[in-house]
Amino acid sequence: PRAVPRAHALPARSRRVLVVDDNEDAAHSLASLLAHDGHEVHVAHGGEEGLRIAFECEPEIVLLDLGMPGMNGLEVARELRRRMRPAPCLIAVTGWGQARDREMTREAGFDHHLTKPVDREELERLLLADQPRRGPPAPGSGAAQARH
């Protein structure tokens, strides 16, 4: 996986983050910002590559663009929800910000929806928050309640 080196001391809670965006400049800019803040960051430039890297580095958080050629961000989110245990926190980072777009991301299993350009403070708040993940419980976990 393409990891971006950390530049500074770790924040209160450093996270392992995967940035998936077909716009290489946008992906690397966001990754550099996060690495500067002390997070461990990996980058992918497409949906299939994002899945491969997610299974290799097991991120806590995935920042995922929606409008990518090939496998789009909604498909990647569904696949991550289906196959990863524990499931990472999924954050849509997209230019799509209408009510229907937000509904589609919720249905695909995203935890949060941010529109570009991303507000740095809001992103950092989400990265550092301890929050329950959406999606079904792991098979055999005995969890009877659906998460909201």
How much is the pLDDT for 119? 94
DSSP labels for 78-141?
HHHHHH-SSPPEEEEEES--SHHHHHHHHHHT-SEEEESSPPHHHHHHHHH------SPPPTTS
Six token digits for residue 10: 């770790």
> Closest by alpha carbon to 18, among 37, 51, 82?
51
**Tell me, what's the pLDDT at 8?**
45
Please check the confidence at residue 142 and state whether its pLDDT lies above 50.
no
Q: What is the structure's pLDDT at 1?
A: 52
pLDDT tens, residue by residue, 53-81? 999 999 999 999 999 999 999 999 999 99
CA separation for the pair 32, 37 (Å, rounded): 9
Question: Across residues 79-106, what is the average pLDDT?
Answer: 96
Residue with tokens 């419980």: 137
Single-letter residue type at 120: R
Q: Which pLDDT tens digit goes with each residue over 98-135? A: 999 999 999 999 999 999 999 999 999 999 887 555 54
Average pLDDT, the chain: 85
pLDDT tops 60 at residue 96: yes
- Looking at residue 136, what is its pLDDT? 47
